[in-house]
Amino acid sequence: MNRLTDSVAPILARPEARRDSVRRRDRVRQLEELRRALRLGSLIVPPILFGTAVLLGLRYPTRGLELFALWTAEAAAVAALHPLASLASRRRMIRLTLLFAFVPAIGLPITLALEPGTLLQMNSPFATLPVAVPLFLAWPRPVRTAWLVGYAAAFGAIALITGFGHIVGSARTDIAVDTLIGCLIGWAGGELLERPRLRSIDHDLELRRLNRVLRGHATTDALTGLANRRQLETDLGLLAVSLSQSDAPCGVLIFDLDRFKRLNDALGHVAGDEALRLVAAELGRIVRGRDTIYRYGGEEFLAILPNTQLAAALEVAERIRLAIEGLSIPSSLSGNTTLTISGGVAVAIPPHPDWDRVLALADAALFTSKTEGRNRIGSTVIETSDRGDGKQERPAAALVRTTLEDAASA
């Protein structure tokens, strides 16, 4: 992972954190689904309840007024949930959906207590509403289980113990058993409906994992594990904004392994690949903090050093040169020669010029190091003059080969 984005890397790197993040988003999405379902249900259910009020009022004239008033009141109570569902916060949505299920559920025992003949109507749609609500609203498993267990226990216990004041004998047991079976069916139905949602979470996690792998392959060099040029382009865009705000200089270091083709020809590409891995590991050890190292080409590496002046950039480049020389990587069969590295340094002083120009000057400094004997560091500085539009630039120094001692004495 690039060090410029290390602030978010720990969160993105932990599978547990990623899974928790997906689950949090799933809970938010589920609550929004509850909101939509409650708003829809509060429009559909009241007409059903009012139709039930009319049906029971006409069917049982001796208790018709009470039954009509009961179910009309429940229809009004459910209808009143519609504006509440539109305005309530997500934290209150579960409570509102529980109320949505409780209102019709409380009417069933009262109806049976008022008129035992309504037992024949218990198979009607309104009677199964307390069981159907968890399916309609797609409640989370804990809420769905708690509601159905509580409803089955309460309704079944009232039926067995009191018989609603009129029901006797085996009819009490039948009502309790039917209620329990209905709740079991409702719970199983909820499980079946929840499985696709759980699978979608797992698919989301897997898709995110594959995207991270693909993104890593696209921005990471497979051989060395360093960031590649594609990542460099992204980071330079982000860095330009950061440096412009801090008005800080930035060092750009380009390195090239000396006579690397000779090493490949003498020892083979396997030895060449191993040499690149050793060099990359050493560069990663030296370049730390906000500084970032990239594999720039075949045997070329590039380092970005934000907030770094010329003297400090040269010091880092010289430390890298000495470290690679100290690895003593053989570059021939005889082992008499070891692999070395040459470098070019460019320092952009704000306001920053175009990155293409900075990289070109650093590359030119590297070329100078190569032509003047290798295993050394060349440098240049870009100084810009802000005349109001921030676009005027002038070279502060010609392209020169600067040693560490020269920079220190400057």
pLDDT score of 410: 39
- Which domains does the chain show, CATH number per domain? 3-209 (no CATH), 229-409 (3.30.70.270)
- Burial zone of 302 (CB within 10 Å; 0-12 exposed, 13-18 middle, 19+ buried): buried
Mean of the per-residue pLDDT values of the chain: 77
Q: Say how far apart CA 179 and CA 224 lie, in whole Å.
A: 66
User: With bands split at pLDDT 50, 70 and 90, how would you rate the model's confidence at 381?
Assistant: low
Give the mean pLDDT of 51-56: 84
Q: Please report the pLDDT score of residue 137 as a whole number.
A: 67
At 105, the amino acid letter reads: A
Q: Which range is most confident: 141-155, 215-229, 275-289, 390-404?
A: 275-289
Q: Is 343 a residue whose pLDDT tops 50?
A: yes
Asked if the bond preceding 351 is cis, omega within 30° of 0, the reply is yes
Give the per-residue pLDDT at 128.
61
Q: What is the mean pLDDT of residues 221-236?
A: 88
pLDDT in tens, 297-336: 889 999 999 888 888 999 999 999 999 999 999 988 877 7
User: Bigger pLDDT: 20 or 393?
Assistant: 20
Q: Cβ of 88: how many Cβ atoms within 10 Å?
A: 15
Q: What is the pLDDT of residue 260?
A: 92
Lowest mean pLDDT among 181-185, 233-237, 360-364, 367-371: 181-185
**Cα separation of 155 and 260, whole Å?**
84
Answer yes or no: pTM beyond 0.85.
no
Residue of 277, 164, 170, 293 whose CA lies nearest to 235: 293
Worst-scoring range by mean pLDDT, 180-189, 302-311, 352-361?
180-189
